[in-house]
Structure 1
Amino acid sequence: MLWFLPCCISYGNAELPLDVNKQGNLAGYGNLRNRRLDDTDEHKESVKIRSTGDDQSNPRSPPGESAGGAVYVRWGHHSCPSSSQLVYTGSAAGTNAQDSGGGVNQLCLSQNPVYDSPVAGVGSERSFIHGVEYQITNFPQLQSKRWYDVPCAVCLATARFAKLIIPGTNVCPSNEWPESTEVT
């Protein structure tokens, strides 16, 4: 069973909904609002721009946040392809199939969680989030990964402005180019 398949990310001049600008951001919001920045020269310059308000790269983004690019999750990897930048790395998680009340979507949980206002006790009306593990029995070449947590990397493709994930295939529709053609 394959859990995670490649993404297709499109180029082009497609007409976008009114609330999305040409860089792929929701109107009034910049990309990567929760991006973790190290104490680097890039970060220091970003802080300097924020404090002076000199960034004019995108008038619809908050000061200091340049816009552009498509954000996507690369399942099964700790890194991004050379055409993209790493936003953060994490572990795949989701609800158990036997639990009620959970979503079907997989999450790429950060390696640095913040527990803001945790609630004590167990609530029967909540669904738990469980880590996703490789449970491989039919692929001898992948047996060394059995019971390992599934890694994930959130990537920013700065040369792209939109993304489309098509489960179950590694072929993109016409007028689209693959960011990655590997099956993970």
Structure 2
Amino acid sequence: MAGVLLLSCFLLAVAGVISVQSATHPVRGDAQQLTEEPLREKRTAPSQTGKSDDGLVTLLAQQAAQLSSLKDKLHALEISQLTAKSELQSELQSTKSECQTTKGELQASQAKLESKVEKLSLSASAVKKEPGSSFIRWGRKSCPNTTTLVYSGVAGGKEHNQKGSGTNRLCLTRTPQFDNTAKPPYYGYLYGAEYQEISGHLDHDVPCSVCLVPQSTTIMVPATLTCPPGWTPHYTGHLVSQYKDYYATEYVCLDGSPEDDSSGVRNDNGLLFYYVVTVCGSLPCPPYINDKVVTCVVCSK
């Protein structure tokens, strides 16, 4: 487009020169028909013609200079447009590349989030399916912070020197309910419980609490204060049972910081809580040590 404009300007300039020359120098045929001019005029004609030629040359030079300047400007404009186009294409390509990179990163992030959501959903489903488990915290009215209190009660069971009744220790509710069932001729007994030979708590009634944990399995590990790897500890304490010369009851884990129940001190005996100590022989020593109070820990998983 710029080339066509330059050519048009050049042709117009040339046409102007030819028109001026034709007007200044008539053709030979026409010159013969003219009346001869006086000698004075003939002598002055070459001088006028020279001046006219100089003006034409100057005009052509000016137009050529203008055309050259215009051509340079158009060329510079073309270069500027090409440069701008190249820069724009480069910028667009860079933006496109950045968009592709960002898209890839977003897709990767989305995949990670979806994976996490799936894992969380599976974990939530597993938690919902877990029934949980419970344990009794002997000697305390409350549950550890890692658990939920089901109820707080008092310990009970068989009388220490009775042959019959149950051997297991019970955590009794503080709000008992009864129906109208008549007393039968033969029956067992249910007594309360007292601390025996436990420093600072002699003859005090024993509180207890039933605690719920979200994990499905709960165990009591005797002779240690540490849970197995991967298990959660809930409380530590000491192993207790019935006195060795009385009728047997089960071993349970009494909290290491036992409390007294608010029902008071009566020395009514009933179910008794005695510390358990080690006896070397069939019990391997070491690692066990003779006459040591046995520790315990309650764990869940």
SS at structure 2 position matched to 1:90:
strand
Q: 1:166 to 1:104 in 2, by over 3 A?
A: farther
CA distance in 2, matches of 1:179, 1:107: 20
> What letter corresponds to residue 145 of structure 2 in structure 1?
S
Task: Identify which of 193, 197, 213 aligns with 1:157.
Answer: 213
> What letter corresponds to residue 146 of structure 2 in structure 1?
S
Question: Share of identical aligned residues, percent?
Answer: 33
SS at structure 2 position matched to 1:91:
strand
SS at structure 1 position matched to 2:166:
coil
Q: Which has the larger radius of gyration?
A: 2
Map Cα deviations across residues 36-90 of structure 1 (whole Å, 9 max, x no partner).
Answer: xxxxxxxxxxxxxxxxxxxxx56xxxxxxxx632111000000001111111010
Aligned residues: 114
> 5 Å matches for 1:1-80?
68-80=131-143
Question: What is the TM-score with the length of structure 1 in the denominator?
Answer: 0.53
Say whether the 8 Å CA contact 1:99–1:127 is kept in structure 2.
Answer: no
* 1:146 Cα offset (Å): 1.8
* 1:118 Cα offset (Å): 3.7
| Unpaired runs of at least 5, structure 2 | 1-125, 239-254, 256-301
> What letter corresponds to residue 216 of structure 2 in structure 1?
F
CA distance in 1, matches of 2:181, 2:222: 34
* 1:156 Cα offset (Å): 0.7
Say whether the 8 Å CA contact 1:76–1:152 is kept in structure 2.
Answer: yes
CA distance in 2, matches of 1:126, 1:169: 39
> 5 Å matches for 1:78-157?
78-120=141-183, 123=185, 125-136=186-197, 142-143=199-200, 145-157=201-213
| Unpaired runs of at least 5, structure 1 | 1-21, 24-56, 59-66
CA distance in 2, matches of 1:80, 1:70: 14
Question: What is the TM-score with the length of structure 2 in the denominator?
Answer: 0.34
Higher relative contact order (CA 8 A, sep 6+): 1
